[in-house]
Structure 1
Amino acid sequence: MSYLVLKYLHLLSMVVLFGTGLGSAWYKWMADRGGKLAQICETNRLVVKADWLFTTPTILIQPVTGMLMAARAGLPLDTPWIALSLILYALAGACWLPVVALQIRMHRLSRQALDSARPLPPLYHRQARLWFWLGVPAFLAMTAVVFLMVFKPAWTMP
């Protein structure tokens, strides 16, 4: 596979990853704020589905295409901007994994509440806050990764 094809796949998967993550976060946050149980439940279902259909594949494609491009360009993985990108990517992933579990739990809780015609339990709201706050460092880390991908700063490590 040529460098340009790898770069295309890398950029396309980054756009899908960022877009799906930000879009899902926005719609889930707004649904939760709106307080309409049916909308919350459906949004939670779709957010979980979007993670499996779009986020998971791009999470796998990103490091593979990035490392292949680095190898083709003759850049070792300990090149400072690459190493920092990998660390930030791992940080985002460490936040994302519990977010996925929370999304699945929140979908179940909202489905149970809807089916039983009861309000969302306090546990749902605690999990939604944790979900939101885990998303903040993940989003900031991914924003920094995109910066590093684009600018490739020529830092030297001591």
Structure 2
Amino acid sequence: TSSYRKEGLFRQLSLTPLTRAEWLTSRILWYILLTFFSAAIVLGIGLSLFGAHVTVSLGILPFLVLGPFFFVALGMVAGSAARTPETAAVIGNIITFPMMFLTGTFFPVSEFPPALQLVARVLPLYYVIDGMNQVMLFGDLRAAGIDLAVILVASIVVFVLAIVL
């Protein structure tokens, strides 16, 4: 967002009938499409080369939509808060790196000390990862319902913030 501001894109967009919400939605849809392609490639490699055993289910679709929805909107909020693209990158790193390490992306949350487990449960990425695990590893979309609800609410809140800022 800060690079768009720096390049004058928002000024140019203000001259079109496109609203900020429509522009943000188009960016989100683009990243959702990229996520689908990436997921297909990773899944194809995992299944064909490494013999991974996962349940391929349509239940994964909400997470492949809401995950990027949330994080693109969060990136737009961070970019809006920054004056320069460099500052936006720092803000993004401050947000994403702790989230990656504290939510089960690399290590199981169940192995964390209780205090860090509580921190993990506050972060939206935890619910994306847990929901995807419930669906792909256990084939249980109902168990992922809370995860889906949390990420849906978080996505809506961050999307509204991105539009307002």
Specify the structure having the higher radius of gyration (Cα).
1
Q: TM-score, normalised by structure 1?
A: 0.30
**Larger % of helix: which?**
1
